[in-house]
């Protein structure tokens, strides 16, 4: 699926048109607009106080041809909602459909947009009063991961790279839908396309979130490990997360997780987002 999305993004760039969100494409100009609901994580760097989460709609317009952008960025600094409008963003392409940007006038503002990942965006901004805002789309991805899977018998431990972790943050309930994609279970000879747990509790921390839960029901899609490319995909609920603990550090771009997949496999995962994949 990601290869298909990437191919579509490449075709869009070659045609000079990228259309995202509510964008009205401007053909031949390389200009696109992304407008999305985002979650703002606010932290007072002076008082060391977590101010919590808020949901806002942010708008980013990118001119890929001239490498410029402008943003309408909303945030809550603890005193009410405010809007920061910047029209001097400097765009740096990092790969097909992936762009980083900084501000020429506000040194504490930066971010990126990745149209390959459901128009994923993240903004970083520290106000003059010392309020640090990390704004992200609700789906937080980690693709560049290392995973070690151990078992409760003599099965040889498995090391896997680039298992995908997705945390869909739901601020109102302080829970997340957590999906692990592309992981194998060597003991049971299964390859899991995805394992999804709903309503995983989280706590807001200074730099992001901690997730913790026990006996979490899951819905898993898998193939037989011995024929992972040809067998029919099946559903199962026999692999709950007996325990699940994870730390998502958005400031430093880090994931650390440890969880039990079913009753016989323990997974330890570390990782970063997909940024390192987007190279020339």
Are both 86 and 69 inside the same structural domain?
A: yes
Q: How far apart are the C-alpha atoms of 241 and 262, rounded to whole Å?
A: 6
Are both 84 and 187 inside the same structural domain?
A: no
Q: Of 137, 157, 179, which closes a domain?
A: 137
For residue 196, the model assigns a pLDDT of 98
For residue 18, the model assigns a pLDDT of 38
The two beta strands, 164-170 and 139-142, are: antiparallel
For residue 212, the model assigns a pLDDT of 97
pLDDT, tens digit (0-9, with 9 covering 90-100), for 195-250? 999 999 999 999 999 999 999 999 999 988 765 555 678 899 999 999 999 999 99
Average pLDDT over residues 174-181: 97
Q: What is the DSSP letter of 277?
A: G
pLDDT, tens digit (0-9, with 9 covering 90-100), for 12-58? 433 333 344 545 445 556 898 988 899 999 999 999 999 989 999 99
Domains contained in the chain, number: 2
Are both 114 and 13 inside the same structural domain?
A: yes
pLDDT, tens digit (0-9, with 9 covering 90-100), for 72-123? 999 887 788 899 999 999 999 887 778 899 998 999 999 988 877 566 789 9
Q: Of 121, 137, 153, which closes a domain?
A: 137
Are both 129 and 165 inside the same structural domain?
A: no
Are both 179 and 73 inside the same structural domain?
A: no
Q: How far apart are the C-alpha atoms of 12 and 96, rounded to whole Å?
A: 10
Are both 64 and 190 inside the same structural domain?
A: no
Contacts of 9 (CB under 8 A, 6+ apart): 18, 96, 97, 115, 116
pLDDT, tens digit (0-9, with 9 covering 90-100), for 53-70? 999 999 999 998 899 999
Going by C-alpha positions, the residue among 140, 147, 149, 146 that lies closest to residue 261 is: 149
Are both 8 and 103 inside the same structural domain?
A: yes
Are both 127 and 170 inside the same structural domain?
A: no
For residue 6, the model assigns a pLDDT of 38
Going by C-alpha positions, the residue among 180, 182, 176, 199 that lies closest to residue 260 is: 180
Q: Of 137, 158, 189, which closes a domain?
A: 137
Domain that holds residue 126: 2-137
pLDDT band at residue 183 using 50, 70 and 90 as cut-offs: very high
CATH number at residue 154: 2.40.160
Q: How far apart are the C-alpha atoms of 268 and 258, rounded to whole Å?
A: 4
Are both 121 and 22 inside the same structural domain?
A: yes
Percent of all residues in the chain with a pLDDT value above 70, rounded to a whole number: 84
Is the Cα dihedral 230, 235, 237, 238 positive or negative?
negative
Q: Which residues of 212-223 are buried (b: 16+ CB within 10 A; e: fewer)?
A: ebeebebebebb
Are both 97 and 148 inside the same structural domain?
A: no
Are both 50 and 26 inside the same structural domain?
A: yes
Are both 32 and 84 inside the same structural domain?
A: yes
């Amino acid at each position: 699926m990601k290869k298909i999305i990437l191919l579509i993004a490449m075709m869009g760039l070659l045609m000079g048109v990228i259309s995202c969100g509510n964008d009205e494409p401007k053909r031949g100009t390389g200009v696109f607009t992304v407008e999305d609901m985002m979650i703002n994580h606010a932290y007072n760097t002076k008082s060391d106080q977590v101010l919590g989460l808020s949901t806002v709609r942010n708008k980013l317009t990118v001119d890929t041809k001239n490498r410029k952008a402008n943003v309408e960025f909303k945030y809550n600094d603890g005193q009410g909602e405010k809007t920061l409008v910047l029209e001097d963003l400097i765009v740096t392409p990092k790969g097909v459909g992936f762009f980083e940007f900084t501000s020429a006038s506000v040194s504490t503002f930066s971010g990126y947009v990745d149209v390959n990942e459901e128009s994923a965006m993240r903004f970083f901004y520290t106000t003059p009063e010392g309020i640090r805002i990390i704004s992200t789309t609700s789906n937080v991805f980690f693709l560049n991961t290392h995973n070690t899977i151990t078992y409760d018998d003599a099965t040889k431990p498995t090391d896997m790279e680039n298992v995908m972790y997705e945390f869909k943050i739901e601020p109102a309930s302080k829970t997340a839908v957590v999906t692990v994609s592309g992981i194998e279970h060597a003991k049971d000879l299964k390859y899991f396309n995805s394992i999804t747990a709903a309503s995983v509790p989280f706590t807001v921390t200074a730099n992001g979130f901690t997730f913790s839960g026990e006996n979490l029901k899951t819905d898993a899609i898998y193939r037989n490990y011995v024929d992972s490319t040809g067998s029919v995909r099946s559903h199962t609920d026999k692999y709950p997360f007996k325990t699940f603990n994870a730390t998502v550090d958005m400031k430093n771009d880090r994931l650390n997780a440890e969880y039990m997949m079913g009753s016989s496999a323990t997974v330890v995962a570390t990782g970063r987002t997909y940024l390192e994949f987007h190279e020339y």
